């Protein structure tokens, strides 16, 4: 009796498709996980940048509140600017570590003023430094030295801006530095600094 070998598999070909399929399946799973992590990371970064931008906008409110306080003092009680007022977040001299003061590492635990929290959950706190070397003194008193700017009346309309033009007595302005710290959701924190000029009287 003759037997037929038509349905016999060649040696070495038994089940080779299964390992290949499993390897491809594992590779696809790993690729899917990597893609998911990449998308998730990008979403988190975008969200964090959004929160960071919101804290910057909230910082503008802190700077504006400091400006309103300085403007009121300059107009109604300018002599008060010679004295420190920690309750108002105001210091009549520069920081002890100036010019190397870093608010990120040396933000004071007290002597600052916080404004109302905005709708995004951001809270701005500000501090004001008069850029003078001595506290409690007028800008031109004793050994006090202040960062100042004096305008010249000859720069008014009709005046001359030539280098040899006569220099008339102008208005002296003192520099004040406002630093605002904003803390928002997800521990997002921003610092904003600006300089303001206040005329002396």
Cα distance between residue 58 and residue 26, in whole Å: 48
Helices first, then strands: H and E counts in the chain = 2, 6
Residue with tokens 């002597």: 111
User: How many Cα atoms sit within 13 Å of 60 on the Cβ side?
Assistant: 4
pLDDT at position 106 over 80 = yes
pLDDT at 4 over 80: no
Which of 18-22, 50-54, 57-61, 74-78 is predicted most confidently? 74-78
- Does residue 134 lie within any of the structural domains? yes
Pair of tokens at residue 43: 């979403």
Residue 35 lies in a domain: yes
Among the listed residues 164, 162, 172, 166, the one whose alpha carbon sits nearest the alpha carbon of residue 197: 172
Structural domain contains residue 6: no
Q: What's the domain count of the chain? A: 1
C-alpha distances out from residue 25 to 13, 18, 110, 166, 188, Å: 21, 10, 60, 86, 41
Average pLDDT over residues 75-88: 94
Q: What is the pLDDT of residue 51?
A: 61
| pLDDT score, position 177 | 96
Does 149 reside within a domain? yes
- 127 occurs within a structural domain: yes
Task: Of 50-59, 100-109, 151-160, 179-188, give the lowest mean pLDDT range.
Answer: 151-160
Q: Is 22 contained in some domain? A: yes
Q: How far, in Å, CA of 139 to CA of 148, rounded?
A: 9
**pLDDT confidence of residue 31:** 80
Tokens of 76: 């109604």
What pLDDT, on the 0 to 100 scale, is given for residue 71? 94
pLDDT for residue 45: 61
CA distance 169 to 150: 8
Residue 29 has pLDDT above 50, yes or no: yes
Considering the domain boundaries, does residue 126 fall inside one? yes
**Residue 95's domain spans which residues?**
17-199
Who has greater pLDDT, 184 or 66?
A: 66
- Whole-model pTM over 0.75: no
Task: Let me know if residue 7 belongs to a domain.
Answer: no
Within its chain, how far is the Cα of 151 from the centroid?
Answer: 31
The answer, yes or no, to whether residue 157 has pLDDT greater than 70, is: no
Q: For residue 70, give both structure tokens.
A: 């300085």
């Amino acid at each position: 009796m003759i037997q037929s070998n038509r349905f016999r598999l060649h040696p070495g070909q038994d089940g080779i498709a299964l390992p290949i399929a499993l390897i491809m399946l594992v590779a696809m799973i790993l690729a899917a996980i990597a893609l998911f992590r990449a998308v998730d990371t990008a979403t988190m970064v975008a969200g964090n940048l959004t929160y960071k931008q919101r804290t910057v906008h909230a910082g503008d409110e802190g700077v504006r509140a400091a400006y309103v306080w300085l403007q009121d003092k300059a107009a109604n009680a300018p002599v008060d600017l010679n004295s420190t007022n920690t309750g108002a977040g105001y210091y009549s001299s520069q920081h002890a570590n100036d010019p190397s003061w870093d608010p990120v590492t040396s933000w004071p635990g007290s002597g600052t003023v916080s404004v109302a929290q905005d709708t995004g959950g951001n809270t701005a706190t500000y501090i004001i430094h008069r850029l003078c070397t001595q506290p409690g003194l007028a800008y031109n008193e004793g050994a006090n030295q202040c960062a100042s700017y004096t305008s010249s009346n000859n720069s008014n309309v009709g005046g001359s801006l030539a280098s040899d033009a006569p220099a008339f007595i102008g208005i002296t302005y003192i520099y004040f530095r406002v630093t605002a710290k904003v803390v928002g959701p997800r521990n997002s924190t921003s610092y904003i600094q600006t300089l303001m000029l206040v005329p002396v009287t």
